[in-house]
Structure 1
Amino acid sequence: MRVVHVFRAALTVLALTVVAGCSTAVTKLETWEGSPSAAAEAATLKAPGAIRVTRVNGRSMTNYLMDDLALDYALLPGENEVVFTYKTIWAKSGVVENGESKVHVIKSEPQVVRFDASASETYRFEFDKPGSRREAEQSMPEFSASIVNAEGEVMARSTDWSSTRQAQAERTPLSDGQASDGQGMSGSAGAGSLERLKATWQTATEQEKKAFLRWAFE
């Protein structure tokens, strides 16, 4: 029995060490590819555990195994687009049956916010926190968060991402030489629709892309 207790204790210490190592290693995530010169003056966006950033400037962010992990994101100076979701967790009252979750998870629809980041500046999310599960359920459909700088000045406010993507797809202009009826320069039908599809694909989530591919190849 002593050996078993020692083994369990060793596993616990190892697990805590791994978690601690992960938390320090991923506290600041780069949101770009390559080695841009502006990276030396990157701004910082601080996201609490309730906010999960899924995309920055069209690039998917890493999905970590640990939820509710507060992370800092390094942003290049200039305009940035951040897509995120917000969730709250509330304990269930009463008896919970086997296999049933012990908490209520209330999650927002994907949100998008765009703002100009200044070199070496620090930004954070600011939003109203519900005081109860009922309040969270009632307010979640209209949820919105602000991006504020170190002085507390509001830089931008988020909007629903799905509506924004739909509007972008509808506003996507036809390429040069394409007729308004969808005929391309070569006369093939549907060229305009193809351009819109390409634009929508670039802003789609990984789950949406997988769902589309399953549909396309059925």
Structure 2
Amino acid sequence: MSIAKVLRVTRFQKSGSRQWMQRAQATICAALLLVLTGCSSAVTKLETWEGSPAAAVNSSTLEAPGVIHVSEVNGRSMKNYLMDDMALDYALLPGENQVVFTYKTIWAKSGVVDNGESKVHIIESAPQVVSFEAAPNETYHFEFDKPDSRRQAEEMMPGFSAAVVGVNGQALAQSSAWSPSDSVVAARTPVSDGASGLADDGEAATGNGESALNRLKAIWNTASDEEKKTFLRWAFE
């Protein structure tokens, strides 16, 4: 076999190998895209209740953009995800709902950044709370002023507020500063008018249809470490 023929065979084999690698890479990328798309659709709408209440079939939707981070709904803590800028939809039961959230934006730093120093500025509001009446099968979203620069964002934070708006463009409620004690009244899951005097676990229910134990659990999750210590000292005295 001549040297020229050997070189042609070698080039053909290398070309075939490159094509195979390109096809394999394309297949892997497509598979990863499908997986990521499936994961994204699986977590973009979160239920805000426990169990299987009958009213869930008529739940409404609260759309939260990536800059709005909902921490709890009706006293129930919401999940945190690795991607802070993920837009999420929250399924709400019809009736009064209380939503606690923060507004957070990220701005790139200009100039040289020292080794180990963050490359971004994070501008975050104080926790906000908004309460509104959700109608069955309706969709709501947040509206707020959007800063054009980091400096403007910093200036907005002390008085930041967001409105919950319906599909007709009308604001239902405006948020205000939140503290853990604000969740005591709303630490509940809305229930239908036909709720009985007993909770699902057989314990005595409060006037709004939930057990005292579940209410205490919800309040406990919002308490600070010092408040928990004070309560435990009181409980065991």
Q: TM-score, normalised by structure 1?
A: 0.73
Deviation at 1:27, TM superposition (A): 1.5
| Cα root mean square deviation, aligned | 3.2
Residue 165 of structure 1 pairs with residue 181 of structure 2: yes
Residue 202 of structure 1 pairs with residue 219 of structure 2: yes
Query: Match of 2:204?
Result: none
Q: Tell me if structure 2 keeps the 8 A contact 1:165–1:200.
A: no
Residue 29 of structure 1 pairs with residue 46 of structure 2: yes
Deviation at 1:16, TM superposition (A): 3.9
Query: Match of 2:149?
Result: 132
CA distance in 1, matches of 2:72, 2:133: 16
CA distance in 2, matches of 1:20, 1:211: 42
- Segments of 5+ residues of structure 2 without an aligned counterpart are 1-17, 186-214
Q: Tell me if structure 2 keeps the 8 A contact 1:44–1:123.
A: yes
Deviation at 1:203, TM superposition (A): 6.7
Distance 1:93 1:7, change over 3 A: farther
CA distance in 2, matches of 1:19, 1:87: 24
Distance 1:31 1:136, change over 3 A: same
> Which deviates further from its counterpart, 108-117 or 62-71?
62-71
Query: Match of 2:166?
Result: 149
- Segments of 5+ residues of structure 1 without an aligned counterpart are 170-197
Q: What SS class does the counterpart of residue 157 from structure 2 fall into? A: helix
Deviation at 1:41, TM superposition (A): 0.5
For the pair shown, which has the larger CA radius of gyration, 1 or 2?
A: 2
Deviation at 1:131, TM superposition (A): 1.1
Residue correspondence of structure 1 range 58-77 to structure 2 within 5 A: 58-77=75-94
Distance 1:46 1:144, change over 3 A: same
Residue 101 of structure 1 pairs with residue 118 of structure 2: yes
Residue correspondence of structure 1 range 41-52 to structure 2 within 5 A: 41-52=58-69
Given residue 119 of structure 2, which amino acid in structure 1 is its aligned partner?
K
Instruction: Choose which of 36, 41, 55 in structure 2 pairs with 1:38.
Output: 55
- Percent identity, please: 58
CA distance in 2, matches of 1:134, 1:203: 37
CA distance in 2, matches of 1:55, 1:129: 23
Q: Tell me if structure 2 keeps the 8 A contact 1:87–1:107.
A: yes
Q: TM-score, normalised by structure 2?
A: 0.67
How many pairs are equivalent? 185
Query: Match of 1:194?
Result: none
Distance 1:97 1:8, change over 3 A: farther
Query: Match of 2:104?
Result: 87
Residue 117 of structure 1 pairs with residue 151 of structure 2: no
